[in-house]
Amino acid sequence: MSDASAKPGLDRFIVFERIPNFRDFGGHATVSGGRVKRGQLFRSAGLHNASDADLIKLETLGLDLVIDLRRRHERVLEPSRRPANFSATVIENDDPDLASAPHIAIASGGPPDPVSVHGRLMDYYRATPFDARHQALFGAGLKAAADAKGPLLIHCAAGKDRTGIMSGLILHALGVHSDDITGEYLLTEHADLRRSLLDSAIRMAKETGRVMPPESLDVMLSAQADFIESAGHAMREKSGSVDSYLDSLGCDERMRARLRDRLVA
């Protein structure tokens, strides 16, 4: 991350020892002429590998809310580490609880070649906004974000797919343009997720009984514009607009106004 000035947005990354892809996703301009506040919206990969030094650093952020998008099975296998005096509200959801995390399901759900994996990821992004469990979790997370008194953190396992959709919904509710939402998502390409390629391959082989080729793992860990854009397309196609989709989650215009009042300067 030493070349943070080379590309806009890289300065939003916060370096932790063992929490990858941690960044502030504030700072974006809004269509109304405001700007999303910095230091209030964070996103990351899972906290289960956090070092003691990471926990001390995490505590300094003053988190009031954590939205953990992982399934119960994932949380049981890899429980989050949190600071000793942690008192933030935690939003989770267990129903219905499927055994496989998304990346495991994608790895085991068809041919392992990169083109097929890309296609399954596209299907995942189109389907996730209309999955009942995610709708309940997104709705609860948005309400909690509007009610929170301080900073929030959204995370899943890698901080890419589920976190990308949820953080995109918050940014849309705040009035950030879709191009900037895509740009924020693409910053994950500059995270250190590829350091975990070997660990991911071993874990997936153990859980699925198959070995994913490196080029397919690379697709699975990538952030590509057509992934996040396909989620938005699905919302507009099925709900009429992203605002109407947010309405269906309980995040109506009044709640979006509360979010803007709290998080836009």
DSSP strand pairing (41-44 vs 23-24): antiparallel
Mean pLDDT score, 225-245: 98
Fold of 4-263: Protein-Tyrosine Phosphatase; Chain A (3.90.190)
pTM surpassing 0.75? yes
Per-residue pLDDT at 80:
97
% the chain with pLDDT above 90? 74
pLDDT tens column, 28-81 = 999 999 999 999 999 999 999 999 999 999 999 999 999 999 999 889 989 999
Three-state DSSP class for residue 43: strand
- How many CB atoms sit inside 10 A of residue 108's CB? 15
C-alpha separations of 163 from 41, 136, 145, 157 in Å: 12, 15, 14, 9
Residue pair 19/44 in contact (Cβ under 8 Å)? The answer is yes
Q: How confident is the model at residue 164 (pLDDT cuts 50, 70, 90)?
A: very high
Per-residue pLDDT at 3:
45
Q: How far apart are CA 196 and CA 17, in angstroms?
A: 13
Given a cut of 50, is residue 15 above it in pLDDT? yes
C-alpha separations of 213 from 111, 121, 167, 197, 219 in Å: 11, 16, 30, 11, 10
- How do the domains of the chain map onto residue ranges? 4-263
